[in-house]
Amino acid sequence: MQGALPMVPLTIEGYAVLHQMFRFRWAEWRKLPQEQKNAVLVEAHSALSQMESDGLSAIYSILGHKADLMFVHFRNSFDELNAAEVRIANLAISDFLEPSGSYVSMIELGLYESTIKLYRSLTERGVEPHSDEWKREVEETCARQKQAMSPRLFPKIPGSRYVCFYPMDRKRGESKNWYTLPIEDRGRQLNEHGTVGRRYADTVRQIITGSIGFDDWEWGVDLFSDDPLVYKKLISEMRYDEVSAVYSDFGTFYIGVRRHPEELEGFLSSGAPDSK
């Protein structure tokens, strides 16, 4: 369409993120002599406490059959994520952890409003898309936004009692395709969607991660709160927005309770339901 703005919105990225989901091998754990259990727990407590101390790793006990434990890591790079993953794999407790899922992504903020404003300005001035001048102004805009949004891009994992994590896509079907909409329409829908989320800002901390090119879905969503009921209310209300009702698909939901390393002994001593 003549005069249309470029399709791709600008984004800024922060921490690399890894979610690790595990089933715990309860039957094998119960057979282990108490002396060996104690040694495993001492080592795990030491390592996991160190990893948690800077606020960039957290452990959650997962409700339901999908997993028993979920580890979440925020790091500066994929190399550091890999180091965290390998460190856990080298702990004796990993002999009882059976991977049931994982998710790789990066904290992402979409800049639809800034993108549209910038693209309009460049187009009106006759700047050729993807020219050196265009790229320079794009880079300057992203740098300014990244500096201003640094606390949202590089946060500590919230200390809330509960987490809700799920992946999602924008539809690319024959009749409904998010990626064929003009950038202005997408920006409008996301702004309306965000208005709902902001009404819950006092009770929910939301962290969006981008995973296009990294994992099977396009985005990951973490919701942190001290009241799990708010997840139902927030997500239900958002489902009525156009962007969710028409253009979104959702993956597996995980609901977890925060477990600090010092709670592991009590958690593992309590055993597990037969269904797990």
Active site residue 112: no
Pairwise CA distance, residues 177 & 254, whole Å: 27
Q: Give the list of residues 6+ apart from residue 96 with CB closer than 8 angstroms, or none.
A: 24, 25, 28, 29, 40
- Whose structure tokens read 């404003």? 117
Catalytic residue selected from 112, 166, 231, 247 = 166
Nearest to 80 by CA among 176, 15, 150: 15
DSSP 111: -
Please state, in angstroms and as integers, the Cα–Cα distance from residue 164 to each residue in 170, 232, 255, following that order. 19, 10, 5
Pairwise CA distance, residues 110 & 222, whole Å: 16
Q: Are 170 and 179 in contact (CB under 8 A)?
A: yes
52: its two tokens: 């948690």
**Is 254 buried (19+), middle (13-18) or exposed (0-12) by CB count in 10 A?**
buried
Q: Is 110 helix (H, G, I), strand (E, B) or coil?
A: strand
Active-site annotation, residues = 166
